[in-house]
Chain A
Amino acid sequence: MNIKKNIFAVFAVITMAISAAPALSAGGGGKHAELQKWSFGGVFGTYDTNQLQRGFQVFYEVCSSCHGAKLISFRNFAEAGGPEFSKDQVKALAAEYTILDAELEEGERTATPADRWPSPFETELEAREANNGAFPPDFSVLAKARNLPKKFPMNFYDMATAYQEGGADYIYNLLVSYEDEPPHGVEIGDGQSYNAFFGGGLSMMSPLMEELVEYEDTTIPLTVEQYAKDVSAFMYWMADPHLVQRKTIGLKVLIFLSILALLMYLVKRKIWAGVKH
């Protein structure tokens, strides 16, 4: 019988199918992403406080006029593992905003650190009207809502290395990939800007340009790439604020489990010693 032959044929088809899959996929359907090195990647990953503070500054001075962050409270900015602003800084920041409160006689009050970050627009309709019909998505979890998923078998590589920063890489690449003109033959909508990473037109024009934001630390270059990196890191922190705490505990848990596993193995071996099985 040629059962063996058939098995090999099917096997060959399977192998072909699997290897035919492209190893990398571009997030937005456009050009490939350039992956960045993030301080919060990997097992020992932790946020760079200075970077988060700079990222916050970009968000505060540029993006927050269109994008909200409704799940973030002012007090979060002072928490450990985040940008770690001082309590007074946070209080002063909150005091810049007013909160509408129908329960009060005046109908509004000054924000406190316990308040959520106020949205720049009151309704989605208003936001769309101001933005060419598009809605600027809320930033609270946006860095988790975007990703650069890899195809089999590279997805296993990502699992083995715990690569979870696809969202930050996505945002970074989006912000640095604006081009003045769409390539020949590509149509984009009215009022849209062409973004090569996205692979089409976006209703957000390039929000960044050189020397747009003045950093306190003069050693940091004032480039689009630098701003993009800082704000992406900041957005990742917003989406995963307890990452540092989680990874610190995780390391201890892994060490504990490894030692426990070894002890379990030794006990098991002792009990089974001399028992034929």
Chain B
Amino acid sequence: MAGNSNYNPTNKVEKWFDERLPLLRFSKEHLMDFPSPRNINYWWTFGAVLAIMLIVQIVTGIILAMHYTPNIAMAFDSVEHIRRDVNYGRIIQGTHAVGASMFFFAVYVHMFRGLYYGSYKAPREILWILGVVIFLLMMATAFMGYVLPWGQMSFWGATVITNLFSAIPIIGTPILEFLRGGFAVDNPTLNRFFSLHYLLPFVIAAVVALHIWALHVPGNGNPTGVEVKSSADTLPFHPYFTMKDLFVVVVFFIPFAWFVFFAPDILGHADNYIEANPFVTPAHIVPEWYLLPFYAMLRAIDFDVFFISAKLGGVIIMFGSIIILMVLPWLDGSKVRSGSFRPMFKPFYWLFVLNFLLLMYLGGQGAEGIYVILSKVATAYYFGYFLVILPILARIETPKPLPSSISQAVLDKNK
């Protein structure tokens, strides 16, 4: 949003600089003066939490890479070397490992905020799609990072997930071998995963820059879903939202520190403390908790559909569950953005949240008995929500009356 700038160079040097590279002008415009709806609630602070988490992951990751050895004979011991011999190594390593979980926790809050308040709707479709791209990149990064310590779960997780690609007809096997750098998960796999795991966070950072650019074109949405109409609706980003975000970031760091210092391994799996062994398969191969919902959907498809094998079907469903988010802006035709004004939408939304948690639970259970049936029901609801419920609701629902403006809504609330 150009033209929000109150930037006035205060001295000759600044002026000289501003005429050549308006960096300070840009920063002031976008980091300080940027008008944000005065009524955005705490769910809008998680973007800032995510930005900080990305920095935490990159900084701790770079330090870890200084001491880590991407070789199957040494990787496991080199992580132990970090934990034992590097100064504060156990804390740095723990921060990175727990940080991945905290990052995903924050991204889920951020995404479910978007789903509730209809943040994906016009004019924010590109902003949302960039978010989905970030989410995909985050999953790829986390998956490859989990392989690096070369424990049993690393190895077998890598084997199971790369193996999925073999389900694709004709090109599947070449892709599989390309990903692994051979016929099986081995040293070449570890090397390329390390290289990519180092690369992808910077790609994420670049997409985040686009994400924020796309945010700063229409500006933030808000809990009423009514767009900004006048300057009475907004407050400058600094100091109002910098301070609010900072407060939440510090609060977020409290459970983060709790895990890092008192239970750094509790979110992981004990089997990853056993060095990778291609000859011993663990009893249960489970991904990290944040990938479980998608793992559950993958396994829910255990039947062939015409020429599509169960395996390929599972892969399609798993990737489809994320791809579908990209077209969500065109599936949900309701003109009302905020779920708060959509009486019929609300129960389906909350059921969707519960359903997602159920999928997370099911992803961690063995693929047997009642769990298989539940996985199928939950997968059906996941897709049904986007493909059937949202399009139909858009047609049949009568939304509650919207406030005429944000400032009006604020006044009503403060009455």
Residues of A within 8 A of B (CB): 3-4, 7, 10-11, 13-14, 17-18, 20-21, 42-43, 71, 140-142, 144-147, 149, 152, 158-159, 162-164, 166-167, 239-242, 246-247, 249-251, 253-254, 257-258, 260-261, 264-265, 267-268, 271-272, 275-277
Instruction: Report B318-354 residues with CB < 8 Å from chain A CB.
Output: 344, 347, 351, 354
Which residues does chain B contribute within 8 Å of A277, judged by CB atoms?
Answer: 38-39, 235, 410
User: Which of A7, A144, A275 is packed against the most chain B CB atoms within 10 Å?
Assistant: A144
**Pairwise interchain contact A268-B243, C-beta atoms closer than 8 A:** yes
Interface string of B32-44 (1 = CB under 8 A from A): 0000001100000
Which residues does chain A contribute within 8 Å of B257, judged by CB atoms?
Answer: 250, 253-254, 257
Task: Say which residue of A145, A166, A271 sits within 8 Å of B240 (CB atoms).
Answer: A271
Q: Which of B11-19, B22-30, B262-270 has 4 or more CB atoms under 8 Å from chain A?
A: B262-270
**Pairwise interchain contact B243-A246, C-beta atoms closer than 8 A:** no
**Pairwise interchain contact B347-A275, C-beta atoms closer than 8 A:** no
Q: How far is the CB of A64 from chain B (nearest CB, A)?
A: 19
Q: Given A14-B354, A275-B38, A277-B39, are A159 and B263 neighbors across the interface (CB < 8 Å)?
A: yes
Q: Which of B109-117, B128-136, B244-252 has 4 or more CB atoms under 8 Å from chain A?
A: B244-252
Besides A21-B365, A254-B258, 13 new A-B residue pairs in contact (Cβ under 8 A), listed by A number: A10-B381, A13-B377, A17-B374, A140-B80, A163-B263, A247-B261, A250-B258, A250-B260, A260-B250, A264-B247, A268-B243, A272-B243, A275-B38
Q: Please count the residue pairs between chain A and chain B whose beta carbons lie under 8 angstroms apart in the complex.
A: 130
Q: How far is the CB of B231 from chain A (nearest CB, A)?
A: 14
Q: Given A162-B262, A275-B240, are A261 and B254 neighbors across the interface (CB < 8 Å)?
A: yes
Q: Which of B83-91, B177-185, B307-315 has 4 or more CB atoms under 8 Å from chain A?
A: B83-91
Cα A261 to Cα B344 with chains together (Å): 38
Cα A145 to Cα B273 with chains together (Å): 5
Chain B residue at minimal CB-CB distance from A270? B243
**Pairwise interchain contact B414-A254, C-beta atoms closer than 8 A:** no
Task: Say which residue of A158, A258, A264 sits within 8 Å of B246 (CB atoms).
Answer: A264
Say yes or no for B411: interface residue by CB 8 A criterion.
yes
Task: Say which residue of B259, B261, B365, B414 sits within 8 Å of A276 (CB atoms).
Answer: B414
**Pairwise interchain contact B273-A141, C-beta atoms closer than 8 A:** yes
Q: Given A11-B354, A13-B374, A141-B273, are A246 and B247 neighbors across the interface (CB < 8 Å)?
A: no
Cα A3 to Cα B259 with chains together (Å): 41
Say yes or no for B388: interface residue by CB 8 A criterion.
no
Cα A20 to Cα B358 with chains together (Å): 13
Which residues does chain B contribute within 8 Å of A162, judged by CB atoms?
Answer: 258, 262-263, 266
Chain A residue at minimal CB-CB distance from B374? A17
Which residues does chain A contribute within 8 Å of B39, judged by CB atoms?
Answer: 277
Say yes or no for B239: interface residue by CB 8 A criterion.
yes
Cα A18 to Cα B360 with chains together (Å): 11
Which residues does chain A contribute within 8 Å of B371, judged by CB atoms?
Answer: 17
Which residues does chain B contribute within 8 Å of A272, judged by CB atoms?
Answer: 240, 243-244
Cα A144 to Cα B344 with chains together (Å): 49
Task: Say which residue of A4, A14, A145, A271 sits within 8 Å of B274 (CB atoms).
Answer: A145
Instruction: Report B74-107 residues with CB < 8 Å from chain A CB.
Output: 77, 80, 83-84, 90-91, 94
**Pairwise interchain contact A10-B351, C-beta atoms closer than 8 A:** yes
Q: Given A246-B90, A276-B411, are A146 and B270 neighbors across the interface (CB < 8 Å)?
A: yes
**Pairwise interchain contact A164-B266, C-beta atoms closer than 8 A:** yes
Task: Say which residue of B77, B240, B259, B377 sits within 8 Å of A71 (CB atoms).
Answer: B77
Cα A7 to Cα B273 with chains together (Å): 42
The 3 closest A-B pairs by CB, nearest first: A250-B261, A147-B270, A145-B273
Cα A163 to Cα B267 with chains together (Å): 11
Chain B residue at minimal CB-CB distance from A277? B38
**Pairwise interchain contact A254-B80, C-beta atoms closer than 8 A:** no
**Pairwise interchain contact A275-B235, C-beta atoms closer than 8 A:** yes
Task: Say which residue of B90, B266, B347, B365 sits within 8 Å of A3 (CB atoms).
Answer: B347
**Pairwise interchain contact A242-B263, C-beta atoms closer than 8 A:** no
**Pairwise interchain contact B263-A144, C-beta atoms closer than 8 A:** no
**Pairwise interchain contact A253-B273, C-beta atoms closer than 8 A:** no
